[in-house]
Chains A and B, each alone.
Chain A
């Protein structure tokens, strides 16, 4: 009985049918009629068994997926929102998001669950709670959502922050009035340094406040630098936003006669207006370094597997790069043509637009646009469009030959499109007009009607552009006239005969005679042309055609179509002189037989470039809602300094840098540090490292994606400080080497530019473990081209002794005059100071160079506690201990100076001791990892004892000698 009553009530709601169906088509655990089945889902949900509940939810999801209504189960479902079972909970979430909008009151019951979950210690639970809470489109909870978003935006976990960025958009679409508050959150999240957040927050920015360009200024450089490491979808959004940004902030790089080349990059590193030489002197345009930064950082993304990313970069280059750099994207775009059909479609559309303005970009890849028999029609037409755009005097014969095969295609629509394309080629390239025309005339005898019709139409257009010697063609067409049945083609022939009736004086009246017979059975456009022909013949040859014309005009007068009746009336008034229309009919000849401008055969993609490439609007050729107009370049660049930021750079270990000249900001503090290496290439990152590594305790969770931000630009040759930075540092290094702030770096001459024919090289030891081979000592070589010719192919040649193992730096393909580049290599010195000899080669010459390391460079600092130190020292006594007493120089007595002196001499780590008079240093040899312990014990006055403990006795004595020198001398 109970069943019956519930059944009745459900039937009222009209959704019961759906529920009924579930139970009958499911694994009907409850065998029975539909009426009982309806209740069964509800019962299952209310049962105590998890498995039953889950089964019920799964069936409900099945209903939703099919688009059936399952809303009447809402009360039963919402009770399970706090269930412990994760899968069940997830399914309930799916249901809730789908139906909350319809059942607002009941949905509120679930809110408190989410509010509780927002405080959960697990970041994933917090994130998912925020996700669902923000997806429930119930206006009442807007304040709750706002609060949740604000809180999550400052969550510890970047993943939760990412979710809050997504939530911003949802709240905005629910209640646009929250805009101002949301912008505050966006502003805050834009400052976020996590790659996880960047894409999502820019997406929110684009939805909520795309006009607030000012929010981007301070984050511009950071976004550029993070870009490589952002996930693919975020990259697309960021790139398109930055394209818009750049168009408002930088001046146009497209000025006439400006040839811009990579050399100018140097200006980026130059401090203000120090030395802008060569081309920059003569040319007024200077690319903003930030503009260059964007171009450089997006370029590697052309290699992305994600076609949307490649397209985004391509459009960025198209809209922002100096003209001659745009071709960098060609190859990648052509690559996309090997992807799925839909991708091809969009890419071809964009190429079609590009190829109108820049033929040269795609001409070398012409063959990629050859049509395959298996291509769908819309791809074929687009390829045809591009081939036509690419046609020029040089390649037209190839293209026409290709077109000839297309005309024979079974796909008639495509064949017709090909004929139009031939027509376009013929008008654009005057050399081939005659060839094309002849070819088209040949097609007139084609068996296929559409081909013939299309040919006629195209010939008509061509003849108009070339109004000479075409009476033969017109005669030929007149002969074919009877066979042609396509209205458009018939109309075209009639128009041609009428227009040039004086050139075919015999045929024209005859055609008119035939037409008079068949007038009533013709289609409307043909009828209009018959009237036209009659009128023109009447004016030129009234003797023969007067009666015919009157007959046709009479037929037209009673035609069913009012257009034709109108036209007939108009023509009659115009050409037949009578008392009423005297003035006008005098000019009839001039009106009807006026020389007419030839139609312009041009690409359908001609004006598509008003839309930003790669956008939906471009694809559809109409302005889609929400399309953001790309602004024109400003005449004068807005203030550049808005993008300057004061940032403490994150640690950036392991990154060999390549500088081209002195860094832009050799800060004062650094000058102090590097006082002894004045004018030398300074490893700026290293120094930053020393200054900031200690205070950078990146609280932002595991993702220590330490991309260099602000001005520090990772160079093409350097490793990305991207994802790897995170895990590289997390490796338990087998050497247990700690990278501590190290002392000053001395650089040594490797090759003087006099002996190196312009190539000069200096090297220094960056004192960091070598990435590729831990047993190697890392070296950085700064290669400078002091000549006025570019040097090419700089690489390492042979080396000696043969047993020496080294890691070559990657060849420098080209070094411009006055430019310098820093490369890093590794040499396994095998813990000896024996010199490593090798050849430094350019394309033209080879130079033998040799590196003899100071013994102190063969070490890496080790961190030991005082206890460990003493324990290890205890093991290295006797033979393994060397010591000497010295008198220290005046200024070296203080701890700090002593410390600095020792560490500049040898790459050792300091062991913190309680003692004021004893200084201990520890390190390991790079190759074998043997411990090297140094103790400096200050005695009375300036005396001190230096003790070296290590089982490498040769090293010990050499190290001792060096240390004595360093401490004793001034």
Chain B
């Protein structure tokens, strides 16, 4: 299926290549560069491209292009999903996925890619199995390795691939047995200029960090599972028990993983926790404009709004902004025309305000549309949908684990790192 992989940085240099079948020359990427030239933004490059002999499927993440070459018919989503899995594995191993990190760990990267695909077909994509074979680098181990000349390879042969529970390695041991679940919800909404919600949805994920000895079999139940409109699971969750009893029954992978992601029925009214009053106008003369933004809490159920960041995509003609913020700090990037106002914690007594003037390119016509505004925020200890975990039971092991559940609400589209959210569309 997947023939080759090229990693390409923002400026268009190929800095890593890997072939799973015979070698394909770099020149195949020229077709991709051509498409990249045409696109205004790197995001605009079509993910699926065609060349005379090959097909190119690429993803763009963390300012890097992952470009895979395939030769015959293959489901494009299959390839895309795999590439994203590669990125996630890198993030898991190295903490981030950037050109420098990949170059620094090129051997580990190569070993990972070698294990993840065999002849272009995915072999081991579960992080638990990969970690059994190739240890992630840590500062300590790197030091020890250089000093003693030992490797970051497991001496022991991995067994995870052999079991029918491929996501869990065997022989896990902890002194403190812990299981933590974070219920993270994101509101995704389009609000028009008058403040009316055009559409709003709640997306949630349950991120788990499970450190339990042996082969625990967990059952997680909710107080109000009916809230969940649409769900998708980590492969460890048993579909049939969910269908029959609405409980999550699973043998967890070891460590961090996303247990499920869900969607809360859109019919339930979504209360948007903050509001933003905006007033952005440009002078008729075309020489400048004025901006006035105020943010305030709306329905936060008594919790504090944190990490509030407001992003405004300015019209192209805006050259610079000279503003004063009563709280937080702002930056304006004249290249991307994005104004970011980082407010931080929202104080309901003293509403933060940002005002000042905008200067426009000389001679440019007056920009006509009100720019769209995105809001990112975070509320601790609150799942805005009201979803509550009822209990967590463990079978199969004798000890008593420590259990914890945390709720966080965020604003943002699902794409992480989340900062795209409540879009104010002007009307």
Contacts and interface: CB of A to CB of B under 8 A. Distances in A.
Interface string A313-348: 000000000000000000110110011111101110
B75 A312 contact: yes
B10 interface: no
Contact of B72 (A240, A409, A626): A626
B217 A367 contact: no
Contacts of B369: 408-410
A377 B35 CA distance: 14
A166 B118 contact: yes
Interface residues of B, number: 110
9 contacts: A65-B110, A91-B111, A228-B239, A231-B235, A303-B242, A340-B59, A343-B81, A409-B369, A720-B238
Interface stretch (B19-27, B325-333, B380-388): B19-27
Q: Could you tell me the dominant secondary structure of chain B's interface residues? A: mixed
B270 interface: no
B316 A376 contact: no
Nearest to A374: B420
Contacts of A64: 110
A347 B77 contact: yes
Nearest to A620: B50
Nearest to A408: B369
A101 interface: yes
Given A58-B107, A86-B151, 18 more contacts: A98-B19, A123-B162, A137-B22, A233-B125, A335-B263, A343-B80, A372-B190, A373-B423, A616-B75, A616-B76, A626-B71, A626-B72, A628-B73, A701-B162, A720-B238, A722-B164, A727-B396, A810-B244
A355 interface: no
Contacts of B304: none
A703 B59 contact: no
A615 B73 contact: yes
A98 B24 CA distance: 11
Interface string A89-118: 011001000100100000000000000000
Contacts of B14: 67
Contacts of B26: 67
B232 A303 contact: yes
Contact of B258 (A173, A203, A303, A305): A305
Contacts of B15: 66
A586 B260 CA distance: 76
The 7 A-B pairs of least Cβ separation, nearest first, read A51-B149, A626-B72, A87-B153, A87-B151, A300-B239, A373-B372, A342-B47
A447 B365 contact: yes
Given A367-B266, A716-B244, A627 B106 contact: no
A311 B77 CA distance: 8
A714 B240 contact: yes
Interface of B: 1, 14-19, 21-23, 26, 39-41, 43-44, 46-48, 50, 55, 57-61, 70-78, 80-84, 106-107, 109-111, 114, 118-119, 121-123, 125, 149, 151-155, 157-158, 161-166, 188, 190, 198-199, 203, 215, 217, 229-235, 238-245, 251, 258, 261, 263, 266, 313, 315-316, 365, 368-369, 372, 374, 396, 413-415, 420, 423, 425-427
Contacts of B50: 620, 622
Contact of A231 (B80, B166, B372): B166
Q: Could you say which interface size class chain A belongs to? A: 35 or more
A835 to B, nearest CB: 26
A85 B151 contact: yes
B157 A125 contact: yes
Contacts of A625: 71-73
Interface string A195-223: 11000100100000000000000000000
Contacts of B188: 338
Contacts of A430: none
A339 B166 CA distance: 24
Contacts of A228: 239
B75 A308 contact: yes
Given A62-B107, A65-B17, A86-B155, A135 B232 contact: no
Contact of B48 (A311, A372, A616): A616
Interface in A107-144: 122-125, 131, 134-135, 137
Contacts of B315: 410
Contacts of B44: 376-378
A237 B57 CA distance: 18
A377 B233 contact: no
A612 to B, nearest CB: 9
Contacts of B58: 342
Contacts of A640: none
B44, B75, B238, B413: residue with the most chain A Cβ atoms closer than 10 Å: B75
Contacts of B122: 233
A370 B47 contact: no
Contacts of B23: 98, 101
- The SS class assigned to the A binding surface is helix
A620 B48 contact: yes
B164 A338 contact: no
A881 interface: no
B47 A616 contact: no
A643 B173 CA distance: 46
A304 interface: yes
Interface in A393-410: 404-405, 408-410
Contacts of B110: 61, 64-65, 94
Contact of B243 (A701, A704, A716): A716
Interface-central residue, A157, A703, A724, by most chain B CB under 10 Å: A724
A705 B166 CA distance: 12
Nearest to A57: B107
A235 to B, nearest CB: 9
A305 B162 contact: no
A98 B188 CA distance: 47
Residue among B14, B230, B263 with most chain A CB within 10 A: B230
Contacts of B109: 65
A144 to B, nearest CB: 18
Contacts of B251: 723-724, 727
Contacts of B18: 65
A157 B396 CA distance: 26
A111 B128 CA distance: 32
Contacts of B240: 300, 714, 716-720
Nearest to B123: A166
B163 A305 contact: no
Given A90-B111, A195-B164, A200 B244 contact: no
A624 interface: yes
A85 B413 CA distance: 47
A88 B153 CA distance: 9
B55 A405 contact: no
A822 B118 CA distance: 44
A839 B366 CA distance: 74
